[in-house]
Amino acid sequence: MAFELIRPVSYAKRERKFFKKHPELIKQYVKTLKLLSLNPEHPSLRLHPIVNKKCHSVSINMQYRLLLTLRMLDDGKLILIDVGDHDIYSH
């Protein structure tokens, strides 16, 4: 089963801003999204909950992360929230 990745407008703005600063990560990012849509629990994504934000995080690499809301049980949708380094946990 493939999961649907939802990119709200607020996320798309953050994504554009992130890639203006880090164009070298686009290839890794695309690979991460593809893997996320195929298997969110793949070990290389290092999926884990962020309790104080009520969301989850996956790794693009060792420094950069994606925050997302998982709705896999209901309808197989993954809503992307933010992209950035570890500082996104404190926003």
Domain harbouring 84, CATH code: 3.30.2310.20
Q: Mind listing the pLDDT tens digit for each residue in 18-44?
A: 999 999 999 999 999 999 999 988 999
Residue 11 makes CB contacts below 8 A (sequence gap 6+) with 80, 81, 82, 83
pLDDT band at 62 (very low <50, low <70, confident <90, very high): confident
Beta bridge partners of 65: 59, 84
**Domains identified in the chain, total number:** 1
3-class state of residue 11 by DSSP: helix
Alpha helices, H only, the chain: 9-21, 26-38, 72-75
Supply the pTM of this predicted model: 0.84
The answer to whether the Cα torsion of 53, 55, 56, 61 is positive or negative is negative
Domain span including residue 76: 4-38+45-90
Q: Can you tell me the mean pLDDT for 38-64?
A: 88
Residue 91: pLDDT over 80:
no
pLDDT value for 71 = 60
